[in-house]
Chain A
Amino acid sequence: MFKVLFDLLRYNREFLLGTLLILIILALIACSFFAPYGENDIYVVIPDMPPSAEHWLGTNSRGQEIFWQLSISMRNTLMFGVVVAAISRVIAIVVGLVSGYIGGRTDQIIMAVNDTLGALPNIPILLLLVFVLRDQMTWPVLALTAALLGWTHDSRLIRSVALSLRTREFTRHAAFSGMRTGQILFREHLPYVMPIVFFTTMNNLIWAIGLEVTLSILGFSDINRPTIGGMIYWANAHSAMVAGIWWWIAVPMIFVVILFLGLFLLAMSVNEYIDPRSRLARMGA
């Protein structure tokens, strides 16, 4: 495992850059555990101070230090994204592999359900849910809802690979070796869909974070839980752009871009590494 990481760092420039960017984000998140102020404390520092040696990223109109706000917000936002991506990956893999492997009528039915879910518009449904649930709409509920909406496209991609794997001779061979369906799916077929899984995980993470930011900016999430979107929401509420407090908006945006870029580079390079073709080439096939 360490050798793999070492190889990637040494020979793959994208991986190196991606790792650096993500390390910046992770370091930032780590800082949140050492914050000198509570995450919802206000007027603990002088408001509206531009970035300086004393306040690295400046302070906002609510008297909070942007650095500490950013660090806790990044933690919450990334957590949300990871939970959504993890849940939706599990669903996408199971549905995609099972549907592709069984095929026939079952496949048709599963895919009909899949496509119907995929056709539902995400944001209106989430907004509707927010209105209905109001105060019960905590972030785990929101994450679960987003996860349930975010797997359909990827399960179709996985199914298309699974369909071709089903007709490969090694699948029949495995069946005659007495391997049960679960074993065939997760031992024999899963490695072939891993590149798709990794790449869609990245897309899904970015989609989920974007969704969270959108809902927060609109004020539809729990505004007392600091997130990247929440930061921008508060900045807007205090007319930060008009007041010239640009760093209040610029900082969360820059760091979201760093996060996205880092994830993208990592996914791309890891993808190349776990691709069965490149794996086989390294093994000497």
Chain B
Amino acid sequence: MSQNLLELDHVTKRYGVGGLFSHQSITAVNDVSFSLASDTPEIFAIVGESGSGKSTMAKMILGNEVPDGGRLVFDGTDIGTIRTRAQREAFMTRVQPVFQNPFEAFNPLTHVDTYLYATARRFTGADTRIQQEAKADEALQRVGLSLAELKGRFSHELSGGQLQRVAVARALIPSPKLIVADEPVSMVDASLRMSIVNLFRSLRDELKVSIIYITHDLATAYYISDRVIIMQKGVVIESGGARAVLDNPTHPYSIALKNAVLPPDPKAAAAAIRQRRALVEGA
């Protein structure tokens, strides 16, 4: 039996909105299925705009939200059945997140290295500070940093790019099989953004970690991902190999989304704006 690393089986998530009397529900994620193979690490992009349900997907994969329908199975375990702390911690050693805003993800009043030691202590059994520091340094070296430059630093002393590297390093400490990165570069400055994106590539190639890359940015999704799904209002409208889908999208929404990406060239970009304007005027 070839086991999948992660398998989503007709997953649905609804949120209740409204008050006591006018109860309505919004379907944030509607009948989504896909799977990641355990033997070939890959970068799997989930692309969508706000309200597409992509962040809800991230939360469900991380076990922070429970689906209303369908199952999420990670490495043979149904994520929805995780109850005890021991189960939860065993799950967290294999699946780790990288959050969107590095300045939010690190408590401004806590030293950034604290997170590394805590992770090392809980998930690798490093009891002494020396062992924890060794683990932290090893992970930081992987992302091009070192413990020496981070020890005792606060988040505001580092750039967004550095912080996001620390976040990735922290996620690597338990040697996870899967990293779920929810918009990991949208808050990182342009001159540093590609260093994070390239880092994900090297994690896949060198550490054989699978990455779920959640983004609204088609250009970076095209750049790093192997497979992609495009979501609109909770539904997967197109999926397949990243190059194939993004070079030649077939669904009208994916085509519109692709055309909306501004080319980094003044003539072409201005032309795209004018075209879109003509379309809106004509409509």
Contact = CB atoms under 8 A, between A and B. Distances in A.
- A adjacent to B, CB under 8 Å: yes
B122 A169 contact: no
Contacts of A170: 104-107, 110
Given A169-B101, A172-B97, A173-B99, A178 B110 contact: no
A4 interface: no
Interface residues of A, number: 21
Interface residues of B, number: 30
Interface string B102-127: 00111111100011101101110000
A1 interface: no
Interface string B208-252: 000000000000000000000000000000000000000000000
Question: In terms of DSSP, what is the predominant structure of the interface of chain B?
Answer: helix
B196 interface: no
B25 to A, nearest CB: 18
Nearest to A283: B154
Contacts of B64: 172
B156 interface: yes
Interface in B137-185: 154, 156-157, 167, 170-171
Contacts of A38: none
A283 B157 CA distance: 9
Interface stretch (A53-61, A116-124, A183-191, A252-260): A183-191
Interface in B70-126: 89, 92, 96-97, 99-101, 104-110, 114-116, 118-119, 121-123
Which of A173, A174, A276, A283 neighbours the largest number of chain B CB atoms within 10 Å of its CB?
A173
A132 interface: no
A178 B154 contact: no
B108 A285 contact: yes
A179 B101 contact: no
14 contacts: A172-B97, A172-B105, A173-B97, A173-B105, A176-B92, A176-B171, A177-B119, A177-B170, A187-B114, A188-B110, A276-B109, A279-B109, A280-B108, A283-B154
Interface of B: 62, 64, 89, 92, 96-97, 99-101, 104-110, 114-116, 118-119, 121-123, 154, 156-157, 167, 170-171
Interface of A: 168-170, 172-174, 176-179, 183, 187-188, 191-192, 276, 279-280, 283-285
